Structure 1
Amino acid sequence: MESSQREGDQLPWVVQKYGGTSVGKFLDSIVKDVLPSYLATNRVVIVCSARSGRTKALGTTSLLLQAAAQAMETSTSREPSLSTPFSSVQPAGSSTRSQYDRTVDLILDEHLEAARGALPNSPELLAELEADIKQDCEQLRAFLGAAQIIHEVSPRSRDVIMGLGERLACRLVSAALKGNGIEAELVCLDSIVSEMDHEVARGGYPTEGPVYLEQSFYDQLSVAMGKRLQRCKGIPVVTGYFGDVPGSLLAQVGRGYTDLCAALCAVGVKAAELQIWKEVDGVFTADPRKVPTARLVPAITPEEAAELTYYGSEVIHPFTMEQAIKKSIPIRIKNVQNPRGCGTVVFPDHESGRDVADDIKRDPFLDGHVAQPQPPDSQRSGLMDGPVVCRSTKDTPRKIPTAVTIKDNILVLNVHSNRKTISHGFLARIFGTLDRYGIVVDLISTSEVHVSMAMTASIKARTLEHLRSELQQIGAVSVIREMVILSLVGKQMRHMVGVAGRMFSTLAEGNINIEMISQGANEINISCVIHERAAMKALNLIHYSILELSPKPVNMEGGSFGRSFF
Structure 2
Amino acid sequence: MSDLSSPPSPLSMSSGESSSSSSLPGTPPNLHQNSIDPSAKWLVQKFGGTSVGKFAVKIAEDIVSQYLDQYKVAVVCSARSGSTKALGTTNLLLKAASEALSQKKTPGSPNGTETPNGIFGRFNASQPATPLDGSRPRSKSSPKSDSAGTPLLPISCAPDTSFNRTVDVLREEHLIAARASVRDPEVLKELEDEIDRDCDSLRSFLFAAQVINEISPRSKDSIVGYGERMACKVITAILRDRGIDAEYVSLENVVPACTEDDEETLGQIFYDRVAVAVGNRIRECGPRVPVITGFFGPVPGSLLRQVGRGYTDLLAALAAVGLQASELQIWKEVDGIFTADPRKVPTARLIPIISPEEAAELTYYGSEVVHPFTMEQVIRKKIPIRIKNVENPRGGGTVIHPDAEIDAAAASLESERIAVANGWAYKPLSALSTSPPNSPTRRIKQALKAPTAVTIKENIVVVNVNSNRKNVSHGFLAGIFGVLDRFGVVVDLISTSEVHVSMAIEDGEKRVSKVVKELQKYGSVTVVRDMAILSLVGKQMQHLVGIAGRMFTTLGQGNVNIEMISQGANEINISCVIEGRDAVKALNLIHQSCLQVKPEGPKGRGM
Equivalent in 406, 409, 427 of residue 477 of structure 2: 427
1:388-408 superposed Cα distances (whole Å, 9 cap, x missing partner): xxxx99799942111111111
Q: Is the 8 A contact 2:462 2:527 kept in 1?
A: yes
Structure 1's 305 and 55: CA in aligned 2 closer, same or farther, altered over 3 A? farther
Equivalent in 279, 288, 295 of residue 241 of structure 1: 295
Q: Is the 8 A contact 2:35 2:69 kept in 1?
A: no
Equivalent in 296, 300, 303 of residue 354 of structure 2: 300
Displacement, 1:470?
3.0
Structure 1's 148 and 6: CA in aligned 2 closer, same or farther, altered over 3 A? closer
Structure 1's 470 and 2: CA in aligned 2 closer, same or farther, altered over 3 A? closer
Matched residue, 1:472: 520
Matched residue, 1:142: 204
CA distance in 2 between partners of 1:7 and 1:310 (Å) = 41
Partner amino acid for 1:140? L
CA distance in 1 between partners of 2:326 and 2:41 (Å) = 6
Q: Is the 8 A contact 1:357 1:393 kept in 2?
A: no
Structure 1's 516 and 355: CA in aligned 2 closer, same or farther, altered over 3 A? same
CA distance in 2 between partners of 1:349 and 1:56 (Å) = 38
Aligned pairs for 1:43-442 within 5 A: 43-75=72-104, 97-120=160-183, 122-193=184-255, 196=256, 201-205=257-261, 211-233=264-286, 234-350=288-404, 354-356=408-410, 361-364=427-430, 398-442=448-492
Q: Is the 8 A contact 1:350 1:356 kept in 2?
A: no
Partner amino acid for 1:487? S
CA distance in 2 between partners of 1:366 and 1:490 (Å) = 19
Equivalent in 514, 517, 520 of residue 568 of structure 2: 520
Partner amino acid for 1:304? E
CA distance in 2 between partners of 1:59 and 1:396 (Å) = 49
Q: Is the 8 A contact 2:262 2:300 kept in 1?
A: no
Structure 1's 242 and 482: CA in aligned 2 closer, same or farther, altered over 3 A? same
Q: Is the 8 A contact 1:349 1:356 kept in 2?
A: no
Bigger-Rg structure (1/2): 2
Structure 1's 417 and 5: CA in aligned 2 closer, same or farther, altered over 3 A? closer
Aligned pairs for 1:488-507 within 5 A: 488-507=536-555
Structure 1's 366 and 398: CA in aligned 2 closer, same or farther, altered over 3 A? closer
Unaligned runs of 5+ in 1: 78-90, 368-391, 553-557
1:178-208 superposed Cα distances (whole Å, 9 cap, x missing partner): 1111111111000101xx3xxxx3341587x
1:93-117 superposed Cα distances (whole Å, 9 cap, x missing partner): xxx9321111100111111111111
Q: Is the 8 A contact 1:76 1:99 kept in 2?
A: no
Q: Is the 8 A contact 1:311 1:407 kept in 2?
A: yes
Please, what TM-score do these two structures have when normalized by structure 1? 0.84
**Aligned pairs, number:** 505
For the aligned residue pairs, the C-alpha RMSD in angstroms reads 2.8
Displacement, 1:54?
2.7
Matched residue, 2:577: 529
Unaligned runs of 5+ in 2: 1-20, 24-32, 107-134, 136-158, 414-425, 434-441
Partner-residue secondary structure (3-state), 1:312: coil
CA distance in 2 between partners of 1:415 and 1:431 (Å) = 12
CA distance in 1 between partners of 2:559 and 2:206 (Å) = 56
Partner-residue secondary structure (3-state), 2:37: helix
Matched residue, 2:113: none
Partner amino acid for 2:530? E
Structure 1's 185 and 11: CA in aligned 2 closer, same or farther, altered over 3 A? same
Please, what TM-score do these two structures have when normalized by structure 2? 0.79
Structure 1's 535 and 416: CA in aligned 2 closer, same or farther, altered over 3 A? same
Partner-residue secondary structure (3-state), 2:99: helix
Structure 1's 413 and 173: CA in aligned 2 closer, same or farther, altered over 3 A? same
Moved over 4 A (4+): 1-6, 356-362, 364-367, 392-397
Partner amino acid for 1:493? M
Partner amino acid for 1:117? A
CA distance in 2 between partners of 1:287 and 1:6 (Å) = 38
Q: Is the 8 A contact 1:441 1:453 kept in 2?
A: yes
Matched residue, 2:138: none
- Larger CA deviation: 418-427 vs 141-150: 418-427
Q: Is the 8 A contact 1:281 1:338 kept in 2?
A: yes
Matched residue, 2:533: 485
Partner amino acid for 2:204? A
Partner-residue secondary structure (3-state), 1:238: strand
Partner amino acid for 2:394? R
Displacement, 1:529?
0.4
Displacement, 1:434?
1.7
Matched residue, 1:21: 50
CA distance in 2 between partners of 1:318 and 1:396 (Å) = 29
Partner-residue secondary structure (3-state), 1:355: helix
% identity of equivalent residues: 60
Structure 1's 243 and 422: CA in aligned 2 closer, same or farther, altered over 3 A? closer
- Larger CA deviation: 426-435 vs 508-517: 426-435
Displacement, 1:429?
1.8
Displacement, 1:427?
1.6
Displacement, 1:509?
0.1
Displacement, 1:450?
1.2
Partner-residue secondary structure (3-state), 2:368: coil
Displacement, 1:222?
0.4
Q: Is the 8 A contact 2:41 2:326 kept in 1?
A: yes
1:228-264 superposed Cα distances (whole Å, 9 cap, x missing partner): 1111120000000012111111011000000000000
Partner-residue secondary structure (3-state), 1:283: coil
1:323-350 superposed Cα distances (whole Å, 9 cap, x missing partner): 0000000000000000011000001242
Structure 1's 27 and 2: CA in aligned 2 closer, same or farther, altered over 3 A? closer
Q: Is the 8 A contact 1:305 1:316 kept in 2?
A: yes
CA distance in 2 between partners of 1:486 and 1:498 (Å) = 18
Structure 1's 491 and 5: CA in aligned 2 closer, same or farther, altered over 3 A? closer
